[in-house]
Homo-oligomer: A and B are copies of this chain.
Amino acid sequence: MGRDLHPLSLHFVMFIPTIQGQTDDEQLDEWLGLAISRGIIGTYAQTELGHGTNLKNLETTATYDPKTEEFIINSPTITSTKWWPGALGKSSNYAIVVAQLYTQGVCRGPHPFIVQLRDLETHKPLKGIRVGDIGPKFGFNSSDNGFLLFDHYRIPRNHMLMRHSKVEKDGTFIAPKHAKLGYGTMVFVRSIMTKDQATQLACAACIATRYSAIRRQGEIKEGSGEVQILDYQTQQFRVFPQLARAFAFMFAAYEIRDLYMEVTEQLNHGNTDLLPEIHALSSGLKAIVTWECAQGIEQCRMACGGHGYSLASAFPEIYAFVVGGCTYEGENIVMLLQVARFLMKAAEEVRSGKARLAAICGYLGKADSAHSRLTTWDSYSDADIVHDFEHVARKQVFRAYDALKRHQRETSPEEAWNRASVELCKASRMHVRLYLVRNFLQKVATAPDASLRAPLTDLTRLYAFDMITACQGEFMKGGFMSETQIDAVKEGIYKCLERIRPNAVSLVDSWDFDDDELHSVLGRRDGNVYPALLEWAQNSQLNRTEVLPTFKKYLGPMMKDGRSKL
């Protein structure tokens, strides 16, 4: 639930897992106990000032010197400065450093090394190390994200993590047996991220919904008093889709975690069939969920008017935290293009008649239908909805595929990819949205408590209809949906808003956020918003003194001077 990093977050999330996964047995004995007992604190230093996305061009070097049996870690340029690792600036005395391994005069690509940065007793940086905080950020300001520079800093040979690659005493490099590792971990991290992000969107939706039931402004019936702003259709249209998304994304997070378990089980039996598909799905989910959560949070914030702009609302903190997720753990556009790589392979297989598609992509091999089966919004079945999203996703995947092929006839494969990339991203988005809507419908349809299905079904409809109208052009292309059908979808939205209204507060209460977790004056469970806002304001740092020192120094003399002139 936190919206920042603890000084030991990276130690537990990255440093220890890397030791567990990438050391040989001897190294494991040397480091794991020390790390677990918190005898040292470590972080993970990979990203550099000049390179994040393109890891193979990282510039930090680790050059093996067989004479002393040491690696010389060096930062040859300013752009090679390690940049961003959490807790690197001031807290950590160790780090896993990813550097280009040079041995016997040959570059062997990026490898991980365990490096001591600060003296264990004095905590001062060791000679050859320059380390510090990178300064304030949009969010995460309790975290000392750091920079790190090496000046020909020497570490023993056995500080290279040698589970996979090895460097022998004489400098001989031994390549790893398996080239592609770590996909599973990425899937896991992204499933956690999806859940965290969905939770924060839920917090935002909870705050906005509760406050909109407290806030009264304007009249709908003259003379009958001001109404709860949650009664305005425009307010419902801002807030309720976020509520629906929060549920949809949480269900997706649970599903992808289960899939991860399944894949891990399969991997243990040497079966890698599902891995590419799950990896693509988790990348795509990460991109869609982080961005839609961020957008949704801003809608919730603005739905609370001026008070949403105060830090008392918690929205600014929620937004800054969540929107960071669009960038870290894989920039979203890069993620979408990864998904597209996978989708283009699948499209190729379908076109060449060699399709061997697993469940999530099965729709790519299905035959097209001429029309949506929608008649009225309330008779539009789960199966029909999924059918229509499949149609639109399939169309876009093959539209991107055809664009790519067309460009490939005119230019190099790389430039063709670049020229098709906006269409490719769109294909990835539709693929992920299809997954999200299908999973949401399925989870609600099979909810163990049948009494929950009616209110949740309204949310699934709102979720699906909102997406359809947001990209209605895609649904209308080729006459797949008529204008009348689009009108039926819109009617469905307005009816769902009305139906969700009486359940809205109960729905957000169902998440059972503690006031301390929510950390929002506007979102208080007891609804006692206004006295609490006034109380919160008293704690403003500026209110510690009634008259600020600046009055004596500047304002007072300025005004006195002004008055004396009259």
Q: Which of A134, A493, A555 has the most chain B CB atoms closer than 10 A to its own CB?
A: A134
A542 contacts B53, C-beta separation under 8 Å: no
Instruction: Tell me the chain A residues, 114-145 only, with Cβ under 8 Å from chain B.
Output: 120-125, 132-139, 144
Task: Report if A523 contacts B (CB, 8 A).
Answer: no
B542 contacts A144, C-beta separation under 8 Å: yes
Q: How far is the CB of A224 from chain B (nearest CB, A)?
A: 10
User: Which of A192-200, A321-329, A433-441 is found at the contact surface with chain B?
Assistant: A321-329
B311 contacts A34, C-beta separation under 8 Å: no
Instruction: Tell me the chain A residues, 452-480 only, with Cβ under 8 Å from chain B.
Output: 469, 471-473, 475-478
Report how far A558 CA is from B132 CA in the complex, Å. 21
Residues of B within 8 A of A324 (CB): 309
B37 contacts A565, C-beta separation under 8 Å: yes
Report how far A565 CA is from B35 CA in the complex, Å. 12
Nearest chain B residue, comparing its CB with the CB of A224: B414
Q: How far is the CB of A269 from chain B (nearest CB, A)?
A: 36
Task: Report if A492 contacts B (CB, 8 A).
Answer: no
With known contacts A306-B327, A476-B473, A537-B132, A530–B422 Cβ distance under 8 A:
no
Nearest chain B residue, comparing its CB with the CB of A304: B327
With known contacts A309-B138, A537-B133, A217–B53 Cβ distance under 8 A:
yes
User: Which of A15-23, A258-266, A546-554 is found at the contact surface with chain B?
Assistant: A546-554
8 Å CB contact of A555 from B78, B91, B477, B559: B91
Task: Report if A316 contacts B (CB, 8 A).
Answer: yes
A555 contacts B414, C-beta separation under 8 Å: no
B311 contacts A328, C-beta separation under 8 Å: no
A90 contacts B542, C-beta separation under 8 Å: yes
Report how far A144 CA is from B546 CA in the complex, Å. 13
8 Å CB contact of A305 from B309, B331, B538, B543: B331
A327 contacts B312, C-beta separation under 8 Å: no
Report how far A543 CA is from B469 CA in the complex, Å. 51
Instruction: Determine how many copies of this chain the complex contains.
Output: 2
Residues of B within 8 A of A306 (CB): 47, 52, 83-84, 327-328
A39 contacts B563, C-beta separation under 8 Å: yes
Task: Report if A405 contacts B (CB, 8 A).
Answer: no
A134 contacts B537, C-beta separation under 8 Å: yes
Q: How far is the CB of A316 from chain B (nearest CB, A)?
A: 4
Task: Report if A33 contacts B (CB, 8 A).
Answer: yes
A540 contacts B49, C-beta separation under 8 Å: no
Q: How far is the CB of A3 from chain B (nearest CB, A)?
A: 14
Report how far A166 CA is from B179 CA in the complex, Å. 85
A147 contacts B534, C-beta separation under 8 Å: yes
Instruction: Tell me the chain A residues, 140-163 only, with Cβ under 8 Å from chain B.
Output: 144, 147
A49 contacts B534, C-beta separation under 8 Å: yes
Task: Report if A533 contacts B (CB, 8 A).
Answer: yes
Q: Mark A217-249, 1 if CB is under 8 A from B, else 0.
A: 111111000100001111101100000000000
**Beyond A233-B418, A298-B323, A472-B473, 15 extra complex contacts between A and B, CB < 8 Å:** A37-B565, A40-B559, A49-B533, A57-B226, A81-B530, A90-B551, A132-B537, A136-B311, A144-B542, A147-B537, A220-B414, A233-B422, A234-B421, A305-B327, A478-B483
25 contacts between A and B (CB under 8 A): A34-B562, A39-B562, A41-B559, A49-B533, A52-B217, A54-B217, A57-B217, A78-B534, A122-B547, A123-B547, A124-B546, A132-B538, A132-B543, A133-B543, A220-B418, A221-B414, A232-B421, A233-B418, A234-B425, A298-B323, A302-B327, A302-B332, A316-B320, A473-B475, A477-B486
For the complex of A and B, the 4 pairs showing the least CB-CB separation, nearest first, are A472-B473, A39-B562, A39-B563, A133-B542
